[in-house]
């Protein structure tokens, strides 16, 4: 049996799993593909020697539009949005799917992969990477997805029934339980792997030192709030509530990255007259916090925190209650 492995992200567990599969692959070839230079370099470093797929084709827009029409206008998307007689394709195709459509470039990737001989496929689980999701067109004896990082998300919950894999490998017991509880359509294999070291709790002296630097008294209640564009609406609602409540709390908004910082800056402007609010770009202020507030359940984020996290997912938009459920 010949094995094809495609990787889209650098992940210690995935690389270890890939090495183990290669070393136990006694009965055929083991071909590896990388979808980015970073991944190629990481795989090379552990001796996997992948082929890097990079097809920088010039786009022929007329040809691309015609191919997209066959795929999605309406293609097979002519079923209606529930409770309406509005077909899905009329909303989603032109102004959303077409932006991400890979066209001829993706055809070349599919053609290239199709020219390889393989009976088994192993991919990193990555819902946002198109280069990993076309293998269900081949008749495979095994199609394994390997979870990288913490896999639980609203999008995975939503897409669960359509997962095309024959096996899902994860390295966290709680992720295995999550997949089982939410009717993952394939067997789930849990391979224990050392999880990250939990960050140390904040000591009193450190808390006071950071507060002194920020000119915040020890008596003040401090909320350190995560800003992401994705949860902007919930953030604004939370600030609305704070601005109508006089509780004397200090709010430190952490917006990482220039884009989130720019958005948060605009939004915070309209609240600065009502609330004591400081915008920062790093979690180095976290020791000053009495609580960390975020607006959706993000397991990686929560596990990285040193202070208790409150998830304020308004209307449970991000299905945080289901994603957090670890029992």
Least Cα distance to 232 among 259, 254, 256, 263 occurs for 263
Q: Which of 86, 141, 198, 213 binds another protein (CB under 8 A)?
A: 86
CB crowding 88-104: b at 16 or more within 10 Å, else e: bbeeebeeebbeebbbb
Cβ proximity to another protein: between 80 and 198 the closer is 80
| 133 lies in the binding site for another protein (CB under 8 A) | yes
Helices (H), the chain: 12-23, 37-45, 61-72, 88-92, 98-100, 103-114, 154-159, 173-181, 204-213, 232-243, 258-269, 299-303, 320-324
**Spatial distance between the Cα atoms of 282 and 61, rounded to a whole number of angstroms:** 42
Q: Name the minimum Å distance from CB 115 to another protein.
A: 16
Task: Please report whether residue 315 would count as binding another protein according to CB under 8 A.
Answer: yes
Q: How many CB atoms lie within 10 A of CB 230?
A: 14
Binding mask 24-63 for another protein (x = CB under 8 A): -----------------------------------x-xx-
CB 217 → another protein: shortest distance, Å? Answer: 31
Which one, 51 or 91, has the nearer CB to another protein?
Answer: 91
Q: Residues 229, 274, 284, 310: which binds another protein (CB under 8 A)?
A: 229
Nearer to another protein, 103 or 287 (CB): 103
- Interface residue with another protein, options 181, 201, 212, 259 (CB under 8 A): 259
Instruction: Please count the other Cβ atoms lying within 10 Å of the Cβ belonging to residue 131.
Output: 21
Find the shortest distance in angstroms from Cβ 113 to another protein. 11
Decide: 229 and 260 in contact? Cβ < 8 Å: yes
Q: Which stretch binds another protein (CB under 8 A): 194-202, 231-239, 292-300, 302-310?
A: 231-239
- Which of 117, 112, 159 has its CA nearest to residue 134? 112
Neighbours of 8 (CB within 10 A): 21
Binding mask 95-114 for another protein (x = CB under 8 A): xxx--xxxx--x---x----
Q: How far is the CB of 96 from another protein (least distance, A)?
A: 5
Q: Among 21, 44, 90, 108, which residue interacts with another protein (rule: CB under 8 A)?
A: 90
Q: How far is the CB of 197 from another protein (least distance, A)?
A: 29
Where is 52: in which H helix or E strand? strand 51-52
CB burial readout 193-218, b (16+ within 10 A) else e: eeeeeeeeeeeeeebeebbeeeebee
Task: Give residues in contact with another protein (CB under 8 A).
Answer: 59, 61-62, 65-66, 68-69, 71-73, 75-77, 79, 81-86, 88, 90-92, 94-97, 100-103, 106, 110, 127-130, 133-134, 137, 154-155, 158-159, 161-162, 229-230, 232-233, 236, 258-259, 262-263, 266-267, 269-270, 314-317, 319
């Amino acid at each position: 049996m010949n094995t094809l492995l495609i990787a889209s992200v650098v992940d210690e567990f995935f690389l270890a799993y890939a090495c183990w599969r290669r070393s136990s692959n006694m009965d055929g070839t083991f071909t590896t593909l990388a979808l980015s230079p970073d991944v190629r370099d990481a795989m090379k470093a552990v001796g996997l020697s992948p082929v890097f797929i990079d097809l920088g084709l010039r786009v022929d827009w007329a040809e691309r539009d015609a191919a997209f029409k066959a795929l999605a206008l309406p293609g097979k998307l002519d079923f209606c949005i529930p409770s309406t007689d509005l077909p899905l394709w009329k909303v989603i195709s032109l102004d959303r799917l077409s932006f991400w459509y890979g066209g001829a470039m993706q055809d070349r990737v599919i053609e290239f992969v199709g020219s390889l001989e393989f009976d088994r496929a192993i991919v990193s689980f990555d819902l946002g990477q198109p280069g990993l999701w076309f293998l269900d067109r081949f008749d495979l004896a095994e199609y394994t997805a390997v979870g990288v990082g913490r896999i639980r998300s609203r999008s995975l919950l939503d897409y669960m029934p359509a997962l095309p894999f024959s096996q899902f490998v994860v390295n966290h017991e709680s992720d295995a339980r999550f997949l089982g509880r939410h009717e993952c359509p394939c067997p789930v294999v849990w391979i224990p792997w050392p999880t990250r070291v939990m960050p140390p709790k904040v000591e009193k002296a450190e808390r006071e030192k950071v507060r002194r630097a920020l000119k915040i008294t020890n008596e003040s209640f401090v909320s350190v709030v995560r800003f992401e564009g994705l949860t902007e609406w919930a953030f604004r609602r939370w600030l609305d509530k704070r601005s109508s409540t006089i509780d004397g709390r200090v709010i430190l908004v952490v917006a990482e990255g220039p884009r989130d910082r720019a958005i948060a800056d605009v939004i915070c402007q309209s609240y600065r007259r009502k609330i004591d609010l400081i915008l920062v770009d790093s979690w180095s202020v976290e020791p000053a916090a009495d609580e960390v507030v975020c607006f959706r359940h993000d397991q990686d984020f929560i596990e990285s925190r040193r202070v208790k996290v409150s998830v304020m997912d308004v209307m449970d938009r991000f299905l945080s209650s289901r994603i957090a459920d670890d029992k």
